[in-house]
Each structure stands twice: as structure tokens, then as C-alpha cells.
Amino acid sequence: MPDTSSLQNRASGRSVRMAVCGKCVSNQYTMHPSHTSGGKVFGVCKPLSDHTLFHEMATKCSDVTAAGCSLAYPMPLQCQEFVGGKGEVEWPGYHGYNVDVNADSPVEGRAIAFTCVQVATVQFATTISDVFTHGVIAASSGKVYQMVRGDLAECHSESEADATNLQMACVNKGIVKGCYMKDIDNGAHDSKAESAAAYETKKAEAFAQGIGDGWAKCDTLTEKNATSVSRL
């Protein structure tokens, strides 16, 4: 039988049916949690793009050459969290949330959900290509890449029968905000070690310079490859 003794959060004192979702229809939706049963979270499914954190992430560094968008994390990790049986409540007769219920109790054994976003700058490079002539490196080159991408992850527990061993259902979404590449002329060298050391220096200089002269937008294959391995 449901607990109808609590009058918190404007409860009426009687059992009321609530239309909530236990699973969203596709990964184009995120769960906005509201209720729990055992270790399972229930809530309302809304389009992923309607989430407030998604909107913040999507609008950050829309111009990747803008100031601050070359930082490692132009938007550091931000999360909204939900823990069953914990949080602020509204007492009867008081319109406003003023009591943090079970604030000091452990999270373990409770259903949980969270949505996290971040915007990160990903820097990477090809391996160096050395051209040998008569046993020495006559020329060497490589490419460096800088990509700014946003990521969202929404996860909620779905193991109703066991709140001590939570199984999570997650949705992940990544957005490439911009990807640029630059050719590196690494010159001639007497040995592979010398060539490799010079390449490391030139890579660092190119990344320190930031996107500017000599940089061009990534081709589609490079962008897709980079996106696939730089998840949140």
C-alpha cells in the first residue's frame, strides 16, 4: 500500500495515480526523474535538446575561435543529480522548499539519476612521417588537430528489485563545435630520435598558438574519427 501519511510537497493525504515513464522511447529523449520504486527511477521523458544543461552546452563556444574556447575545458563538468528519498521538500502550509530531507544519510541503497554536460578541447596529432634518403631523414611531416566538442550523459538506475546493485540506463550525445587541422613541416634530421623530439616541440608550439594562420577545417573523416573516441 502506498504511504499516504506524508503531506509534504502539497500531498493530499490520499493515493493518486501518476502517469510517469520507466523508459524513454529512444536515445533522443532524456529522463527527468520524479519518482522511485526500489532501485528504479521513474519520471518524464523529454526531447534531449529541451534539457537545460543541453542548451547550456550547445550554446557554449558556438564560435570555437572565440576567447576561452581553446582552454582544456571551456565548460567544466556540470551535473544535475537525483537520489531517491533525498532532497528539499515543501512543508504543509509553506510555499517554498526549505528542508533537506535525509541530507546526511548515505546514497547507497537508493535509486539514483544524473545528467552531466561538459565542453572540452581535444588536441591530437598524427604519427610523424619520415622520408629517408641514403640513411638519413631528408624530410618529415605530420598533422595536428584541435577540436572543441560538447557532451551530455543522462543516466538513471533501472534495477527495481535490487537497490544495492544498481544497473544504469544511459543516453550519450556529443556535438562537434569545430575541428581544425594544421600541417607540420618537421624538416630534415640525422636520426629518428632527433626527428621525434623536433616534432614534439612543433606540436606544442602549434597548440600554444591556437587556431589561426595555417589552420584549416578538418575533413569529414577526421572529424568523425575524432568524435568516436573522445566521448565524455
At 20-76, the pLDDT tens digits run 899 999 999 999 998 899 999 999 999 999 999 999 999 999 888 888 888 889 999
| CB-based contacts of 32, cutoff 8 Å, min separation 6 | 43, 44, 45, 46, 51
| pLDDT above 60 (res 231) | no
Rounded to two decimals, the pTM is 0.77
Residue range 112-137: average pLDDT? Answer: 91
Q: Give pLDDT, residue 204.
A: 94
- The grid cell for 77 is 563538468
Query: Cα dist. 148→19, 63, 83, 196 in Å?
Result: 39, 10, 32, 26
Query: Is residue 12 scored above 80 in pLDDT?
Result: no
Higher pLDDT, 19 or 13: 19
Chain mean pLDDT for the chain = 85
- Spell out the residues 6+ positions from residue 100 whose beta carbon is closer than 8 angstroms to its own: 86, 87, 88
pLDDT attached to residue 69: 85
The three-state secondary structure class of 130 is strand
pLDDT at 171 over 50: yes
pLDDT confidence bin for 203, thresholds 50/70/90: very high
Distances (CA, A) of 215 to 58, 161, 176, 218, 227: 24, 55, 17, 9, 19
| Mean pLDDT (whole number) for 155-176 | 92
pLDDT bin (cut points 50, 70, 90) of residue 104 is confident
- DSSP letter for each residue of 137-203: EEEEEEEEEEEEEEEEEEEEEEETT-SSS--EEEEEEEEEEEEEEEEEE---BSSHHHHHHHHHHHH
- What pLDDT score was predicted for residue 1? 41
| Cβ atoms of residues 48 and 152 within 8 Å | yes
What is the C-alpha to C-alpha distance for residues 219 and 183, in angstroms, rounded to an integer?
A: 13
Residue 8, pLDDT score: 57
User: What is the DSSP secondary structure assignment for residue 10, as one 8-state letter?
Assistant: G
